[in-house]
Amino acid sequence: MTSDTMTSDSMTKAEQSSSQNSATPILPGSTLGVLGGGQLGRMFCVAARTMGYRVVVLDPDPFCGAGLIADVHIKAEYTDQAALSEMAEQCDAITLEFENIPSDSVRFIADKTTVFPVAESLEIAQNRDLEKQFALKAGLQPVPYFAIVQESDLQQAADEIGFPAILKSNTLGYDGKGQFVINDFSQLTEAYNVAGKVDCVLEKQITIRCEVSAIVARNTHGELASFPVSENQHRNGVLHLSIVPARVDEAVAQLAVEGASILAEAMSYVGILAVEFFVSEEGILYFNEMAPRPHNSGHYTKDACVTSQFEQQVRMMCGLKPGDTRLMSPVVMVNMLGDLWLPDWQDIFAQNNIKLHLYGKTEARPGRKMGHFNVLAEDVVSALETAEGVFNALSE
């Protein structure tokens, strides 16, 4: 069949939706899908439904937080081709909430409907070595590191990076999991064994003045928008709170946004891209890692920006213009982990400038992200004071 004779009836759904996506936006009333039903998937579902879309979530967990909000919850593994086909059949466009969705599954559905981000972007962000190489090539500066692919690499890694260092598995790490602080060669060998001799990176442990993240959005037309940079404090490798505006020099914030934008452009990325950076004691901005999805450090946008990162995710996958990312109020976002459960809700509701967000998780486990709250105030000093006061009260 020539393209002249190809009618919309004879086009596959992928052809229809990709031509739709570059020309005609996907509008309310259409159905959007999300792979993964944790809190990020849930907040995507809320945003999409608020905007008038139907939503389908695919997640094997029958009790996942997004499943409770979606129109349809397909309870299946991410590799289940029948389930992926069923999802693609129902959806005009599909996105994902975490980067460890197998890229082959994304390729599989990309033959049937529109999927953003694409498998190639996902594969870069899934692998610490690949994402650092990519960032380096794009002109960003990763922390000095050495890629370990076999045991005999350990000595050279130690010689080049020195100690203290951090050993990180190349794939599947999150919230500090799969990481080891290393002070000497015997610890390096031991950690490499504990990690199961998988591919790793050995990174120089740097003295961090502060951590920041930049979240950008890019659509199929190449239009880019960036959210205000967030300053992030971690505890035990897990994000504890985010402060916006970040208390860094304007030039540093600018560099972080530019870095994230360069990466999005270099990948011809479509969707939300979050990039984590370290600011060293010397004021150097180091690239740490990227996430091809909304990010915990962007939850402040839900209450403090004109457009939230989740609405922006919907806009990007639908070929719509990016929404206004303007910050309407200084804000501090605090994560609520399962360590403190159940909290005394009155500690939160007694404050008139706190917005609470819970993820619908019934089982609380230490370290598990159960929800967050955003404190909006005249300036970050008073937002931080309230945030810390409330967090401490919750911890008592």
Residues of this chain that bind ligand ADP (CB under 6 A):
143, 166, 168, 173-176, 203-206, 208, 211, 234, 237, 276, 288-289
- How many residues bind Mg ion (CB under 5 A)? The answer is 1
Q: Which three-class secondary structure state does DSSP give residue 316?
A: helix
Nearest to 92 by CA among 209, 14, 151, 184: 14
Query: Nearest approach, Cβ of 108 to Mg ion (angstroms)?
Result: 28
Q: Which three-class secondary structure state does DSSP give residue 28?
A: strand
Q: How many residues does the chain have?
A: 396
Closer Cβ to Mg ion, 172 or 350, answer by number: 172
Nearest to 175 by CA among 284, 338, 46: 338
Q: Sign (positive/negative) of CA torsion 257, 263, 267, 273? A: negative
Q: Sign (positive/negative) of CA torsion 172, 178, 183, 186? A: negative
173 is in the binding site of which of ligand ADP, Mg ion, none (Cβ under 5 to 8 A by kind)? ligand ADP
Query: Nearest approach, Cβ of 273 to ligand ADP (angstroms)?
Result: 15
Q: Which three-class secondary structure state does DSSP give residue 167?
A: strand
Closer Cβ to ligand ADP, 107 or 234, answer by number: 234
Contact 165, 202 (CB under 8 A): yes
Query: Nearest approach, Cβ of 150 to ligand ADP (angstroms)?
Result: 22
206 is in the binding site of which of Mg ion, ligand ADP, none (Cβ under 5 to 8 A by kind)? ligand ADP
218 is in the binding site of which of Mg ion, ligand ADP, none (Cβ under 5 to 8 A by kind)? none
Closer Cβ to ligand ADP, 235 or 326, answer by number: 235
What is the DSSP code (8-state) at residue 293?
Answer: S
388 is in the binding site of which of Mg ion, ligand ADP, none (Cβ under 5 to 8 A by kind)? none
The Cα 113–Cα 199 span in angstroms is 33
**32 DSSP β-pair partners:** 55, 93
The Cα 59–Cα 74 span in angstroms is 7
Closer Cβ to ligand ADP, 46 or 188, answer by number: 188
209 is in the binding site of which of Mg ion, ligand ADP, none (Cβ under 5 to 8 A by kind)? none
Q: What is the CA radius of gyration of the chain?
A: 21
For strands 200-204 and 208-218, give the pairing.
Answer: unpaired
Contact 209, 203 (CB under 8 A): no
Query: Nearest approach, Cβ of 288 to Mg ion (angstroms)?
Result: 6
148 is in the binding site of which of Mg ion, ligand ADP, none (Cβ under 5 to 8 A by kind)? none
In the region spanning residues 248 to 277, those forming contacts with Mg ion, defined by CB under 5 A, are: 276
Query: Nearest approach, Cβ of 124 to Mg ion (angstroms)?
Result: 15
The Cα 32–Cα 38 span in angstroms is 16
208 is in the binding site of which of Mg ion, ligand ADP, none (Cβ under 5 to 8 A by kind)? ligand ADP
Closer Cβ to ligand ADP, 70 or 148, answer by number: 148
Q: How many other C-beta atoms are found inside a 10 Å radius of the C-beta of residue 2?
A: 5
Residue 235 burial class via C-beta count within 10 angstroms: exposed 0-12, middle 13-18, buried 19 and up? exposed
Task: List the strands of the sheet with 200-204, edge to edge.
Answer: 145-148, 200-204, 165-169, 179-182
Closer Cβ to ligand ADP, 27 or 238, answer by number: 238
Query: Nearest approach, Cβ of 338 to ligand ADP (angstroms)?
Result: 17
Closer Cβ to Mg ion, 97 or 276, answer by number: 276
Query: Nearest approach, Cβ of 276 to Mg ion (angstroms)?
Result: 5
Closer Cβ to Mg ion, 60 or 176, answer by number: 176
Closer Cβ to ligand ADP, 166 or 253, answer by number: 166
Nearest to 309 by CA among 57, 53, 48: 48
The Cα 341–Cα 360 span in angstroms is 13
Contact 56, 91 (CB under 8 A): yes
203 is in the binding site of which of ligand ADP, Mg ion, none (Cβ under 5 to 8 A by kind)? ligand ADP
176 is in the binding site of which of ligand ADP, Mg ion, none (Cβ under 5 to 8 A by kind)? ligand ADP
Query: Nearest approach, Cβ of 84 to ligand ADP (angstroms)?
Result: 26
Query: Nearest approach, Cβ of 175 to ligand ADP (angstroms)?
Result: 5
Closer Cβ to ligand ADP, 176 or 360, answer by number: 176
143 is in the binding site of which of Mg ion, ligand ADP, none (Cβ under 5 to 8 A by kind)? ligand ADP
Name the site residues for Mg ion (rule: CB under 5 A): 276
